[in-house]
Each structure stands twice: as structure tokens, then as C-alpha cells.
Amino acid sequence: MMLVHPTRRAHPLVEPSDFLAEKLPDEVAAHEGALRTVFAWAGDYLCSPHPDLGRRGDVCPFTDTSMQKGLFFLSVHPGRPTEPAELADLLLHYRDWFAELEPRSGPGAQFKTILVLFPELADWSVVDRTQQLLKPEYTANGLMVGEFHPGPPDKAGLWNPVFRPLNSPVPMLAIRHMVPTDFPFLRDDDVTLAAYLERFGDRVPTHLRGDVRAAADRLATSGS
């Protein structure tokens, strides 16, 4: 059943099981269209292969398991914020709540995800700018924040530079735990690279070890 925070009841989290009902709970009924659209998009797009992805497997390797485990949460914020600071302030609540939600540790924690939807947002670039603003702080705390919107965001796929994988029907920001395979998303910035090395330096996936070692050497040289 939908999760309601004890002190911030105005912005509940909709769970995968809620979408099995004919109607969503009254508290989010005004945004049922956006919520169901994004939940269906996640199941159809993120949980499936794509011909332009450039590798085998689903577009997102975590979403299907996240949904199956009931750890894929959605929330909605109406309005049209124009500055990244506004969205960043809104996400503080979800960042803190994310840390409180179980599982807090162990293998299952990597599948916990919160999507915060902004269906009325007119300027999609504010989502991109908010992600850039928050990324250093979030990675320092072992979190990833991702941007999605219909633009789509001008970030190429890791395996196909022409592909734009962050295309979604509704503008949103996503919060999840950082995992060892996130290195390609963090390697080009010294702050996020340092956060990655501090957390995963001793357990880098085999296929990334050469690139991580080279990046670590570069970081050490730039800091000397």
C-alpha cells in the first residue's frame, strides 16, 4: 500500500502494488495519469532491450528487479519550478526518506529507487541543471541522482553515442544507491570520481579495473 511519511504526508510514495488496483489512492488521484504513464514506461522501456542500446539486456539492468521486489516508488510534485534550487529543496525530503526506507543495506538495497515526477514542468532544462547541481553531494553520500524528460537529456548511451537513453514521457529525477558499475557515469569529474574510489576502490568490477586504475592515477596526479 502507498507509503506516507509521518511528517510530510502531502507527498506519499506510490508502490508497484498500488498500480494493480483499478484506481490509485485518493491522495494521488489528481496525478493518476502521470503516475500510470511513468509506471508503464518503466515496465515497457526500462525493463526491455532496445535496438539502439548497443549492448544486450534491458535498458536499465535494475528496474525489473526493483519492481518485482516492491522497491520502485513514485511521487508527484505539481507546479512549474524555474530554478534548480527549487527542485533541489524538494528532493531533500526524498533523499532523507530514501535513507530511512528498508532495505538500508545488503544486496537488496541497490534496487531501492524513488522517482519524483514533475508533470507540469515547462522548462525541462531545469531537471538537467538540478541533476548537475546535486550530483556531487549525492555521490558523496553514496547516492545517484538521474535526470529524465521528453527532451530527451543530451547524454549519450555508454555503448552507443547516438542513443539518448534518458528519454521519458514525464520530467523527473530519480534517486538510487550508487553501485560499483556506476564508474562510467562518474569518471569525468574529480569530485564524483573521488567519491566512487572511496566507496568502491577495493571492489571494482573486473571489466572496469583497468579504466578505474587509470582514472585513479589521473586523479592522484591532478591533486599533486
Taking the C-alpha atoms of residue 35 and residue 56, their distance in angstroms, rounded to an integer, is 28
Please, what is the average pLDDT of the chain? 94
Residue-wise pLDDT for 52-93, tens only, equals 999 999 999 999 999 999 999 999 999 999 999 999 999 999
Reported pTM: 0.95
The label of the residue with cell 514525464 reads 170
pLDDT at 223 (0 to 100): 65
Domain boundaries, the chain: 16-178, 180-224
| pLDDT average, residue stretch 19-30 | 95
| pLDDT average, residue stretch 132-153 | 96
C-alpha cell at 200: 568502491
| pLDDT average, residue stretch 172-187 | 96
Residues 6+ apart with CB under 8 A from 35: 14, 19, 24, 28, 74, 76, 117
Question: How much of the chain exceeds pLDDT 70, in percent?
Answer: 99
Indicate if the alpha-carbon torsion angle 182, 186, 190, 192 is positive or negative.
negative
pLDDT band at 204, cuts 50/70/90? Answer: very high
111 pLDDT more than 80: yes
pLDDT band at 9, cuts 50/70/90? Answer: confident
| pLDDT average, residue stretch 172-199 | 95
CB 176 within 8 A of CB 110: yes
pLDDT band at 212, cuts 50/70/90? Answer: very high
